[in-house]
Amino acid sequence: MTQDEMKKNAAWAALEFIPRNTVVGVGTGSTVNHFIDALASIKYDIKGAVSSSVQSTEKLKALGIEVLDLNSIDSFSVYVDGADEINAQKHMIKGGGAALTREKIVAAVADTFICIVDQSKQVEVLGKFPLPVEVIPMASSYVARELSKLGGRPVLRAGVTTDNGNVILDVHDLVITEPLVLEQQINNIVGVVTNGIFAQRAADMVLVGSATGTQVIR
């Protein structure tokens, strides 16, 4: 079974946990693209979606799912998104698709975060995947110097502008043993919009697709 088939398994398994007649929070990425396909199969049973990126918005709309403005909603039950890495505490690295800031915002409003991944995303310690940090463009050199002081090796993601008009620094060589602490530390650097550690808002449930099926971790 290919990695993409495992992603698809996890994504379709998430349907079981979507309450009917509610708004659904939708993340970004190739795993989420499978989830959006799955969501389209129950589109008449949901009130619509809140999206975390222009990419997901376009796919949702193309499949006839209404996309609602987050500001028009006080709360909703479930947010479904992928991850680049996830540990046993359900802390994640996200932002491989450069959508981390909007993902963190939508996740913050949701009651429950369901993370959908293939088994390759499970790690003991976060940091092998370079940590994405969204930065205001004029601050990128300053922020890079500050990230180096934290022991990382920041690399500007070439040719990428986020949906918010910012740039991404991918920080290599971090061994993230204290995700909660590092998330806060990096967010405190002036010029950082947000970083891809999702520890303050960890996942609540993980669906792990593998060749033998989908494991549910609560």
* Footprint of ligand 5RP (CB under 6 A): 27-31, 81-84, 94-100, 103
Residue 96 annotated as binding site = yes
Which CB sits closer to ligand 5RP, 36 or 65?
Answer: 36
**Token pair listed for 126:** 């976060």
Which CB sits closer to ligand 5RP, 116 or 189?
Answer: 116
Residue 191 annotated as binding site = no
**Set 103, 134, 146, 183: catalytic member:** 103
Residue 27 annotated as binding site = no
**Token pair listed for 105:** 């915002």
CB of 147 to ligand 5RP, least distance (A): 19
Which CB sits closer to ligand 5RP, 140 or 162?
Answer: 162
Q: How far apart are CA 52 and CA 6, in angstroms?
A: 23
Q: How far apart are CA 63 and CA 176, in angstroms?
A: 38
Residue 31 annotated as binding site = yes
Write out the H or E segment, with its range, that includes residue 107. Answer: helix 100-109
Q: Is the dihedral angle over the CA atoms 19, 20, 21, 22 positive or is it negative?
A: positive
Alpha-carbon torsion, ordered 205, 48, 193, 182, to 10 deg: 0
Binding site: which residues? 28-31, 81-84, 94-97, 121
Binding site for substrate: which residues? 28-31, 81-84, 94-97, 121
